[in-house]
Structure 1
Amino acid sequence: MGIHPFSPEGRQQALQEMGKQTVDLLIIGGGITGSGLARDAALRGLKVALLEKVDFGYGTSSRSSKLVHGGVRYLAYGEVNLVRESARERKVLKKIAPHLIHSLPFVFPLYKGESLMKFRAGFFLFDKLAGSTKSEKHKVLSVEEVRESVPALRDPLIGGIVYGEYITEDARFTLLNAISAAEQGALVANHAEVTDFIIEGAKVIGAKMTDKLSGETYEIHAKVTVNATGPWAEQLLANNRFSAPKKLLISKGIHLVFDATRIPIKGAVALKSPSGKEGFMIRRWNYVYVGTTDVQHDGIIDQPQADRKAVNHLLDMSQECFPDLNLTEDDILGTWAGVRPLISEGNKSSRDTSRHDEIWKIKDGLLTVAGGKLTTYRPMADRIMVSVGKELGIELPDNHRTEEVILPGGDIKGDFEQFKGQMTKKLGDLGFSDETAERLIWLYGTAIEDLLQYANEDPAWLEPIALGVPAIKAEVRLALEKEMALSLTDFLDRRSALLIFSKDHGVESAKTVAHIMGERLQWSDEHKREQINIYLELQQKHLTDSIRV
């Protein structure tokens, strides 16, 4: 076996290769846009390099609402094409990542005074745009059926509608696209920050980059460079004395996390409070999260934090929609905040601003992509590749392979539910709790076999990372050997989802994970302590206690 491209050695090899040759396409930014673009370009046979300054999904792509959704609400804005594209893409993403894109019945309750026929007309159109099969089409629910899925929902309820959506783990989904790109020959590295563009005459011919782990600098030459840095796109251009043709509107959205015993819903529900607040609640494992705000954000875009006004807004909405549950701030387990890079449309609010994407030619050899959303990253990459082809002066083959090549862990034979049943029994026989088994199947798919393989060498790899935590030590080893996790936060936040979806936000796990990572990456005791302190500081920012009034 050769070196895995997402091992520490594979990353180093990629950096050295980047410095030796001229690539066809250099992509800056390892969010879903950049990672998906790298995969698309590599599948078309281009020589590709992908650089991410922190980690895959570090910005927007690990702080979304975790939905692969059809965007039914955009019908109200007349964005039929966006809805059609989003709704149809969901099936493609489910096909290439059946282990990470999970069905989510979404209940839309109706209250006294609302017209069932009006809302059904919208869902009829949505089903048509989505190409829904008979089993996928929306259904009308009685009051009793609504309450079966959403107990304690406020009155005066008159019924509801249920339609199909999908939930994912956004950071891992982004990571899998980056890994898939590397498996197709792309040269990929995280913790690699682009500092300057290389300009020759009137053309951008690549970029200078610093390896943030070693301090080494590299010059990467490329025929075309794409700035896919999302919220940082304008900043990267400005740092190099370039300007964007349009302004970005940075919107912040936050979410609150509760224990599912406090809000015992199934699936998801759209929320409409008597005072006019709107949002949603989504069940994930033993948690329920509430979202989301959509307001202009003028603060720093690195590691945005929930703010008091947004927390109060979502908590008030939850209390109004579930008056009998007596929810208080003490029930909030944690929060997360993310920023969306929208293309400004003058005086429009962030909520009313379109989620469409645009490609801007900044200079010969340099493109910038702006806007877009997770669900439509694949057709977005296709549109970018049209511009890349023009810059290269070549006719590119189409991107049909991006919907045929399965993402790592998704090579499930047959039906996912059947796979889930078989794997649940297998893990149960090994002594895993149902909670641990569900989490592992949900996140890793067939890569669970890698985790179990480690146990053949040493059964200790199957031990929990910490007492009562539904994660195992083998996950850390997998993240090190095949997922380019190079910091404690890389693992606890973006590989394992323990920062947001665990009772203690990964605090009890931090020491064990730092020890395992430190052994492999040759960290000193001082560096281990530093990594733990950085993580604990981040973890504190996700608690309501840390939010200033």
Structure 2
Amino acid sequence: MREREAALREAAAREFDLIVIGGGINGAGVARDAALRGLSVLLIERHDFGFGTTWRSTKLIHGGLRYLEHREWGLVREGLHERSVLLRIAPHLVRPLEFLVPIYHGGRYGYRMVQTGLWLYDLLALGTSLPRHRALGPEAVAALEPALNRVRLQGGFAYCDAHAPFPERLCLENVLGAVEAGALALNYLEAVHLRAARGRVQAVVARDRLTNAEVELRGRVVVNATGPWVDQVLRRAGARGDRIGGTRGSHIVVDLGAAGPRRAIYAEAGSDGRPFFIVPWRGYHLVGTTDEPFHGDPGAVRPGECDAAYLLAEAARVLPGAPLGPEAVLYAFAGVRPLPRAEGRQAGAITRRHFLHRHDAEGLGGLISIVGGKLTGYRRVAEETVALVFRLLGRAAPPCRTATLPLVPGSSPAAEDALTRHLVSIYGGRAGLVLALARIDPTLAEPLCPHGPDIGAQAVHAARHELACTVADVLLRRTPCGWNRCRGMDAAPRVAALLAREFGWNADRTEAAVGAYREEVDATLITDAGVP
């Protein structure tokens, strides 16, 4: 924590070329790109990095096959290009994933329509690395996934996209990359006011949520990358109007054991025709998503009253051979997509494009807001945003390097055992640092909980090198331990004890840290989500 206090003092003493508000995937990507191009950068986040939409997504890196229905050719092409970039620069975090699309007689999306869509998808993906789609007869589809519903099965298709099993790590590595390039990054620092004078934003007044102290931060340009909170931040600057029309995406995580599908299923809901996914994930299956308007606090979003039951029923209809009863549901979660406001349009028809808003006309020169976008396109969003920042600074922009520079430096250690393979899948070239801690102190090689392979050394590494401040930071956004069957509850006391040793907490604070973790998990990974 002493390093954080020093960073906060430095932030208050300097004037930065760029202050980025919001430490989700877009803000983290902007901070890294800007720092790599030589700008002085401060990144602040009111909660933890990746806390908002980033870690509550379906975790897919894709062009968006569904967007072809709305003729979003450019968006799909951009997504497929960015998918290829991420597979190359972050191969341990972004991995190819095969999808199976079963087609049923009488469905909303007929065989010819899906075939045409996949042909276009392949065409737009020309020059990328993944194989083209394959057409399959009903027997071949059933053979690939025996648990599938065979009633009225017409056939199907197999195609490749990608996924990021740990999107919170993708976000964090951008934050760490920004810091390594010279940026300052502070979580739990909330922008409470943007001070403007003479038609320009002059400073950001921020409150440290760990100490309640306020600090004034000076920057020549400010980027509002707060996702579904964009309008809230703008109101703190005196701006009016709504630019975000957020929609809620709910998911359930189910444990099907060995009876679940071995590849991702992209299916059509029988009750309303909406597309949804069933994705193998960390030994479980992720089922989602919904797409409904949301007008509440994005930080308190929960699955809708019927969302979990709807997803479970639709998954059971597609996979009658899988044990998809209520007892299979481990928990549900939801996030808010920061889509552009579009009055009168159905949620599924709102564009997933991103937009950069300048606020000069509102007397807020030097302020840029990012509206929209999705996980796959974060790097491109950052590239465009940083180019605009340079224009506002009146400086020539050096070339962007993020399309070719590896996200994580160094080579991964040889994966000779299951633990090393697991750590490499999370840390890539940084895995050796975690293994070294376990070698120095063998007690740190012990598992954090019986439901997963994560070890104590990961918690220590998070505290020393990954800007973690709380138990939830470690279990939910530095390691995947919080997504285990127990939601990290079994690991929380041990992680709190390890953080107490690192940060000098007393017994009362350590106990409070465990309680705070339980509160956060109960508010985000919901076990009473209304499944009958």
Q: Deviation per CA, 1:383-431: give whole Å up to 9, x if none.
A: 22232123212221231x11222122x6447xxxxx7xx40xx22xxxx
* 1:323 paired residue number: 320
Aligned counterpart, 1:208: 205
Structure 1 counterpart of 2:455, which letter?
I
Give the count of matched residue pairs: 522
| 1:152 and 2:147 aligned | yes
Q: Deviations over 1:116-165 (max 9, x none)?
A: 44322211211121225686111122334323442211122232111111
Q: 1:133 to 1:92 in 2, by over 3 A?
A: closer
1:369/1:241 CA distance change after superposition, 3 Å? same
1:15-164 correspondence runs (5 A): 15-112=8-105, 115-132=110-127, 136-155=131-150, 156-164=152-160
Q: TM-score, normalised by structure 2?
A: 0.93
Q: How far 1:310 sits from its partner (Å)?
A: 0.8
1:366 corresponds in structure 2 to 367
Q: Is the 8 A contact 1:87 1:130 kept in 2?
A: yes
- Structure 2 Cα separation of the partners of residues 149 and 335 of structure 1: 28
Q: Retained in 1: the 8 A contact 2:305–2:529?
A: no
**Alignment equivalent of 2:194, drawn from 197, 219, 223:** 197
When normalised by structure 1's length, the TM-score is: 0.91
AA aligned opposite 1:300: D
State yes or no: 1:473 paired with 2:456: yes
Rounded to whole Å, the distance in 1 between the matches of 2:129 and 2:184 is 43
Distance across 2 between alignment mates of 1:242 and 1:388: 20
Aligned partner of residue 348 in structure 2, secondary structure: coil
Matched, 1:248 2:241: no
Q: 2:478 — aligned with what?
A: 495
Render the CA deviation track for 1:95-115: whole Å, top value 9, x for unaligned.
111111111101111223575
Check whether the contact 1:205–1:225 (CA below 8 A) recurs between aligned residues. no
Q: CA deviation at 1:365?
A: 1.7
Deviation at 1:464, TM superposition (A): 0.7
CA contact (8 A) 2:256 2:328 kept: no
Residue 365 of structure 1 aligns with an amino acid whose one-letter code is G
Q: Is the alpha carbon distance of 1:265 and 1:311 closer, same or farther for their aligned partners in structure 2, counting shifts above 3 Å?
A: same
Matched with 2:423 is 440
**Matched-pair identity in %:** 33
1:375 is matched by which residue type in structure 2?
A: T
Could you list the runs of 5+ residues in structure 2 that have no partner in the other structure?
none
Is 234-243 or 270-279 further displaced after alignment? 270-279
Match of 2:509 in 1: 527
Matching residue of 2:522: 540
The 3 A distance-change label for structure 1 pair 529 and 411 is same
Instruction: Report the secondary structure of 2:246's partner residue.
Output: strand
TM-align CA RMSD:
2.0
Structure 2 residue 263 is the aligned partner of structure 1 residue 258: no
The alignment partner of 1:289 has SS state of: strand
> 1:341 Cα shift?
0.8
Task: Check 1:364–1:543 CA distance in 2 against 1; reply closer, same or farther (3 A cut).
Answer: closer
Query: Could you tell me which amino acid in structure 2 is paired with residue 405 of structure 1?
Result: L
Q: CA deviation at 1:237?
A: 1.3
Shift of 1:318: 1.2
Partner deviation per Cα, 1:274-294 (whole Å, 9 max, x = no partner): 433431100012101100000
Which of 168, 174, 179 is 2:176 aligned to? 179
Question: What is residue 233 of structure 1 aligned with on the other side?
Answer: 230
SS in 2 for 1:511: helix
Deviations along 1:74-102, whole A, 9 cap, x unmatched? 01100000000001101111111111111
SS of match in other structure, 2:18: strand
User: Per-residue deviation at 1:538?
Assistant: 2.7
Candidates 461, 465, 472, aligned match of 1:482: 465
Work out which of the residue numbers 484, 499, 506 in structure 2 matches 1:517.
499
Contact map agreement 2:80 2:128 (CA 8 A) in 1: no
Distance across 2 between alignment mates of 1:107 and 1:387: 40
Q: Which range moved further: 361-370 or 267-276? A: 267-276
Q: Give CA-to-partner distance per residue, 1:287-316, whole Å, 9 cap, x none.
A: 011000000012221131123211121112
Worse-matched range after superposition: 385-394 or 292-301: 385-394
Q: Verify the 8 A CA contact 1:361 1:368 in the aligned structure 2.
A: yes
State how far apart, in whole Å, the 2-side matches of 1:547 and 1:110 are.
30
Deviations 1:433-488 (A, max 9, x none): x4x55542321223221111112311111111123432101110111111111001
Matches of 1:388 and 1:536 in 2, distance apart?
A: 40
Between 336-345 and 525-534, the greater mean CA deviation after superposition = 525-534
